[in-house]
Amino acid sequence: MKIKRVKPVAPFGACFNSRTIKNSRTGPAVTVLGLVLQSSRVIWRIYGHHSMVKVKKKVMCLGFVDGGSEPTTSIVIGGHQLEDNLLEFDLASSKLGPSSSLLLKNTSSSHYRVF
């Protein structure tokens, strides 16, 4: 992809020159991340819009925060990753099911009403 790495910007560890990152329908054209949730049957795909954060005019960083040397969690998933994804909570089974990014369907979470 020829994306140029630059000096990290706290709290992020992996930062890149945004001018070397192309754009796509789902945001920055970077590798799609796949998080395997509790069972290998559920994979949450995180696209560039949700994995990259613009921190300076010419700098984008991988938008995950390191949990530390003795973490209680390995990464922190925040509102940036959740934006434009629908989450289904199955309380009876203690399961979480994410949708694919709504950007793939040319819509966003702002088109949905919350009651």
Q: Show me where the domains of the chain are located.
A: 5-111
Q: How far apart are CA 24 and CA 49, in angstroms?
A: 9
pLDDT at 40: 60
Tens of pLDDT, residues 16-31: 999 999 998 888 999 9
Q: What angle do CA 48, 58, 31 make, to 5 degrees?
A: 20
The DSSP symbol for 69 reads S
Tens of pLDDT, residues 43-99: 788 889 889 999 999 999 999 877 667 766 655 667 777 777 667 777 887 776 666
CATH, domain 5-111, list 3.30.70.20, 3.90.480.20, 2.40.70.10, 1.10.3720.10:
2.40.70.10
Closest CA to 53 of 107, 15, 84, 83: 15
